[in-house]
Structure formats: C-alpha cells, structure tokens
C-alpha cells in the first residue's frame, strides 16, 4: 500500500474528496503552511495526522521548502499530493520529489496557467473548461498531464458558477489519478510524458462528464 502525504493551504475540499474515496493508500499526514487552514479539521475528522509548517516562520522560500521537505520525509511517502497548496515550490523541492509529486489545476492545461482561471475562461469565451491533474515540474503548471475533466462553458456562466462545476469534477478526477498511481498504472517516460501501464480500460487521460450542469 502506497503512503501519501497531502499538502494544503485552505478549506480542503479536494482533500475531503480524496479521503472519502476510500482509496487503497495510507494517508500518513496532512500538512498545511497555514495554521488556520480549514482542511486541517477535515483531516482530523477522518483520523489523519496533521502538521503545520508555517511559511511565515522562515526567511525565504528555500528555508521554508527545506523545513517542509524534512517534515514530509519523516512520513516516508511514495506520493506527495498538492490539494490547494498555494505556494510556488523551489526547484530543489520539486526535484527531490520528481515523479511522485501531483497537483490539480483548475483549467484544461496548457490553457490558463496561473490564477483566476475561471474568470479568464469566461472572458475569453471558450466553450470547454475543466481541470487537469499533472506531475509537478519546475515550470509552473507545465508538468506532464495525467488526466483531465472537461465541462461546457454556458452562455450565462460567471466565474463562480463555472468554478463550482469544475470543482465537482476535480473531486472525481483527483482520486482517480491517485488510484492509478497507487496501482502502479502511471509511468513517466524519458521524454517526460505520462504512459498508462495498466489494462486498456485505464488508458483514459481525458474524462468529459456527460451529465447536465
């Protein structure tokens, strides 16, 4: 059974979806850079150990990331999951967890990297929007794509209504991607692409929900 550590900064909605999915993994700890993050209480309700490494206690990103990595490594994780962790990670940290650091981003990458993805999608008039699970690399929001979920952008959508529908798909997509990792069905190729090594029915990098919004 794979050991997972989850990093959060906020309310922990993706964390809760992961925990409620009852994956065949051991979530060893949930770590936040904010002591008041709501996700810490989510973890406690599920009986998961919590820890805080407050970035404000450190002089610079490198010092914080070093302390964070030391805390993470104490749990011996096979996978580190970013679930709303609002920190830009240093190259040393990313390299240390290369191939075992996952993130979910609220857009169909490579479109709309960075922040305010839903508002930008509405403003640009795109017809499809969604979310992407990817391995983290040193280029922000550019890591190898594991899976995507798409939703239609409706004529009367606002950033808030679109965000709510995308979030519902995040809660389905992220547990699936972690399940694939835990089952050994994901492999990073030498050229930095994701390959599914399980049965053919897992070779589904694009999930387009059909249900009505």
Q: Where are the domains of the chain?
A: 1-97, 104-213
Residue positions counted in the chain? 213
| Torsions phi, psi for 3 (to 5 deg) | -100, 130
Q: What is the structure's pLDDT at 143?
A: 95
* Options 3.40.50.300, 3.40.50.170, 3.90.1150.10, 3.40.50.970; CATH of 1-97: 3.40.50.170
**Active-site pick, 105, 129, 134, 171:** 105
What pLDDT is attached to residue 22?
95
C-alpha 8: how far from its chain's center? 10
CATH fold match for the domains 1-97 and 104-213: yes
Examine the residue annotation and report whether 105 is marked as an active-site residue of this protein. Answer: yes
pLDDT (0 to 100) of residue 177: 94
pLDDT for position 90: 98
- Mark out the alpha helices in 22-135 (DSSP H runs): 38-45, 61-73, 91-96, 117-124
- Render 117-163 in DSSP notation, one character per residue: HHHHHHHHT-SEEEEEEEE--SSTT-SPEEEEEEEEPPTT--HHHHH
Q: Please report where in the chains the tokens 């995040």 appear, as a residue.
A: 170
pLDDT at position 67 is 98
What's the pLDDT score for residue 204?
53
Q: What is the pLDDT of residue 191?
A: 87
- Give the pLDDT of the chain (213 residues) as one tens digit per residue: 999 999 999 999 999 999 999 999 999 999 999 999 999 999 999 999 999 999 999 999 999 999 999 999 999 999 999 999 999 999 999 999 999 999 999 999 999 999 999 999 999 999 999 999 999 999 999 999 999 999 999 999 999 999 999 999 999 999 999 999 999 988 888 888 888 887 655 545 555 555 443
Whole-number pLDDT of residue 196: 84
CATH code of the domain occupying 104-213: 3.40.50.170
């Amino acid at each position: 059974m794979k050991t997972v550590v989850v990093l959060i900064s906020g309310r922990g909605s993706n964390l809760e979806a992961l925990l409620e999915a009852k994956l065949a993994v051991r979530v060893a700890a949930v770590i936040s850079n904010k002591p008041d993050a709501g996700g810490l209480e989510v973890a406690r309700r599920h009986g998961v150990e919590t820890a805080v490494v407050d970035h404000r206690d450190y002089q610079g990103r490198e010092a914080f990331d070093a302390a964070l990595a030391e805390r993470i490594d104490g749990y011996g994780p096979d996978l580190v999951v970013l679930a709303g962790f609002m920190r830009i990670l240093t190259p040393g940290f990313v390299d240390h967890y290369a191939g075992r650091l996952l993130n979910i981003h609220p857009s169909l990458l490579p479109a709309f990297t960075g922040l305010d993805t839903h508002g930008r999608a509405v403003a640009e008039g795109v017809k499809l929007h969604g979310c992407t699970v990817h391995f983290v690399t040193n280029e922000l929001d550019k890591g190898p794509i594991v899976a995507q979920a798409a939703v239609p952008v409706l004529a009367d959508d606002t950033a808030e209504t679109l965000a709510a529908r995308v979030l519902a798909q995040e809660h389905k997509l992220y547990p699936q991607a972690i399940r694939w990792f835990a089952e050994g069905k994901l492999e990073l190729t030498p050229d930095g692409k994701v390959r599914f090594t399980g049965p053919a029915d897992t070779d589904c990098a694009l999930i387009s929900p059909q249900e009505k919004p």
